[in-house]
Structures are given as C-alpha cells and as structure tokens.
Amino acid sequence: MEKLSVVIATKNEEKSIRRCLESVKWADEIIIVDDMSNDKTIEIAKQYTSRIIINDSKGRFHKNKNIGIENAAYEWVLSLDADEVITPELALEIKNAIKNSNKLGYYINRKNYFLNKWVRGCGWYPDYIIRLFRKGTTYWPIEIHDTPKIEPKDKVGKLKSSLIHYSYSSFGQYFEKFNYYTTILSQEEKEKSVRINRRNFILYFFIKPLYWFTRKYLLLEGYKDGFIGFFISLSSALTIFITYAKLWEWQREL
C-alpha cells in the first residue's frame, strides 16, 4: 500500500499552522521545514510531528519546500503551505489517487480566500498547481511565483476536489507580505541583470503596472469580486511598481 508524506514550509505561521496540520493528520508522515520562526509555530507543530527541520532560507522559501521533499520517507509527497487546508473530500480523493496509480503527479485546484471571501476572478480561480507527486519527479523552482512541473504531461492527473487557501486574513498581513515579496522579486530582477534607465522607465513604471491591473480587473473579471477584486487588481499593479522602485533604489546606491 502506497504511503504519503506531507511537507509544509513555515515561517511565523502560529495563526494558521494548526488548521493546516489538523487537515492532514491522517497522513503517514508530516515534515515541517521552518524558516527561523520567532513565534509559536514550532511549539504547535511539535504537537503533530517530530519531523521538524530548521533552515534559514534567506528569503528563498522554495528552498525549504525542496528540503522537505528531499527528506520525505515515502514515495508520494503532498506539498502544502501553512495557510492551506485539505478538505475531507480532497483527503479521500488523495488516498484513492495514490493507490496503484500510473501517474507521476496530480494537479490540485485551489479555492483562494482574501479576507475570508472566496475570490473567483483576478485569475485566482480555477488555480491548478501540481502539489501531489511521486518523490523525485519534480521540485519547487527558486523563483517566487514559479510552480512544480512534471514531464511527460500525460503522466499528470487532475483531482476534482479543491484545497482551501486562506491567503490573507487582514490588510495588515497582506502589506507585511507585500513588502517581503517585492523585495524578493526585486532581487530576482537584479540577478537577471535588469536595469532601470531612461529608455525603459515608462515600461516598468507605467505600462507593465497598467497591463497587470487591466488584465486582472477586466480580462480576468476581477470586477465581479467587488472591492476585493479591485484591491487585488490594483495591488498587482502596485507590486510591479514597487518591485522596480526597489530595484531602482538598489542601482542608485551603487
């Protein structure tokens, strides 16, 4: 009988981690890779598993996801974030999916919530990501918004049930992560040797932000989600703007 390892990367997730762990305590193994939390995340995690690894990712938290995968004891791996929850329906589907399966992995759809509202527009739903896979078939790319991939594609199935993603519970939490993510994104652009100059200034600070707002709000129907859809669309544009503003700031200090 196939067994399952659940891998969760954490950092200061005391408000979310228990809900996540409760939803996967049926798994054969739970591995926590913690990014130097200074709250009660580890204390709570110890109530569910002894497989806890501490690693300072230095802002590249996908590294910790890969460390968890590498340390998984079983053939099948379910990779989760601390603010995600596996429903009973999805848990049953996962158990059935890994029994005598000829697949290498499975896409799982996410129902993303913002301030406890399920967001259907802005490209937030459907949101299929490979999260269940055989160990050794894939990994998490280091880039912040990249996701696992498996080849050949016909060896990847798709589960019907969705996992619940409580992405942001408050604007305060959002802006705290906003600052963190834009710093990482600006570092990625710096590593790609992107430079801000007079010729591309309009592109990075006007055209790209406007494109992302238009895409999220109009093309991906964020307007149907009311103010939250408007906020997500606007903040997507602001993410682009602030990312390149931080890059410009770094160049200025050289």
Sequential DSSP letters for the chain: ---EEEEEEESS-TTTHHHHHHHTTTSSEEEEEE----SSHHHHHTTT-SEEEE---TT-HHHHHHHHHHT--SSEEEEEETTEE--HHHHHHHHHHTSS---SEEEEEEEEEETTEE--STT-SS-EEEEEEETTS----SSTT-----SSGGGEEEEEEEEEEEEESSHHHHHHHHHHHHHHHHHHHHHTT----TTTHHIIIIIHHHHHHHIIIIIT-GGGGHHHHHHHHHHHHHHHHHHHHHHHHHHHT-
Q: Tell me: pLDDT of 226 over 80.
A: yes
- Judge whether residue 249 has pLDDT over 80: yes
Q: Delineate the domains of the chain, giving CATH numbers in brackets.
A: 4-168 (3.90.550.10), 171-252 (no CATH)
Judge whether residue 1 has pLDDT over 80.
no
Calculate Rg over the CA atoms of the chain: 19
- In this prediction, residue 59 carries a pLDDT of 81
Model-level pTM greater than 0.85?
A: yes
CB 117 within 8 A of CB 225: yes
Q: Which residues pair with 52 in a beta bridge?
A: 32
Under the banding of pLDDT at 50, 70 and 90, the label for residue 124 is very high
* pLDDT tens-digit series, residues 211-224: 999 999 999 999 99
Let me know: does 97 contact 78? Beta carbons within 8 Å: no
79-97 mean pLDDT: 97
Question: What local confidence, expressed as pLDDT, does residue 145 receive?
Answer: 79
| pLDDT value for 101 | 82
Phi, psi values for residue 242, rounded to 5°: -70, -35
Q: β-strand 76-81 against 128-134: which pairing, if any?
A: antiparallel
Identity of the residue numbered 75: E
13: nearest Cα among 37, 31, 48: 37
